[in-house]
Amino acid sequence: MNNDSLLNVNIAARSMLAEASARLRAILQEEHIAEETPLEATDAMEFAIDAIDAVIAQMKACRPTGKKPAIPPGGPTHQQGQFLAFIREYMMRNHAGVAPTHANFQQYFNLTAPSVNSMLVRLEKRGFIRRIPHQARGIELIITPDRIPPLERPLRRM
């Protein structure tokens, strides 16, 4: 996993933990719940809150630097690399060897149609792909396979 991925996982995990801690605090502050909750359970919840807060502090201290790794000259950016990896994986998995549709990109990357089209235009301008006009699924990979990173999320069955 690269620094960008680690940073994103770290941020997402911290956010989830902070939400869990806030929910526990809110429950402990509700008067009717506090009155009916045994002292042992309250203590356990307070301990959990303290533990969550300590983990968040550790994650903040240990997080990646946030510096993006240097992109090799002429190499794809992280997101471009994932698009290229998706195209390659998709083409390898289907018998006809056809490229994914815009809808496939949208679903996999959770993007809008304009965002997908913008990325494909950028990939074509950088010389990583060639789009074949007036042909459905008309995408051809130009970049050498060794310059395409592995796909970070599994591609579901087509």
Quick: pLDDT tens for 53-90. Answer: 878 777 776 645 544 444 456 789 999 999 999 999 99
Domain end: 15, 31, 62, which one? 62
Amino acid 94: pLDDT: 81
- Number of structural domains found in the chain: 2
Domain holding 35, by residue range, is: 3-62
Torsion of CA 90, 96, 102, 105, to 10 degrees: -10
Residues 127-138, mean pLDDT to the nearest whole number: 91
Residue 135 and residue 84 in one domain: yes
Residue 85 and residue 52 in one domain: no
Quick: pLDDT tens for 135-145. Answer: 889 999 999 88
Give the DSSP per-residue string, the chain: --HHHHHHHHHHHHHHHHHHHHHHHHHHH-HHHHHHS-HHHHHHHHHHHHHHHHHHHHHHHHS---PPPPPPTT---HHHHHHHHHHHHHHHHSTT-PPPPHHHHHHHHT--HHHHHHHHHHHHHTTSEEE-TT-TT-EEE-S-GGGSPPPSSPPPP-
The overall pTM is greater than 0.75 = no
Amino acid 83: pLDDT: 96
Residue 71 lies in a domain: no
Residues 33-49, mean pLDDT to the nearest whole number: 84
Amino acid 69: pLDDT: 45
Quick: pLDDT tens for 4-20. Answer: 556 667 777 777 888 88
Amino acid 68: pLDDT: 45
Residue 55 and residue 103 in one domain: no
pLDDT > 70? residue 158: no
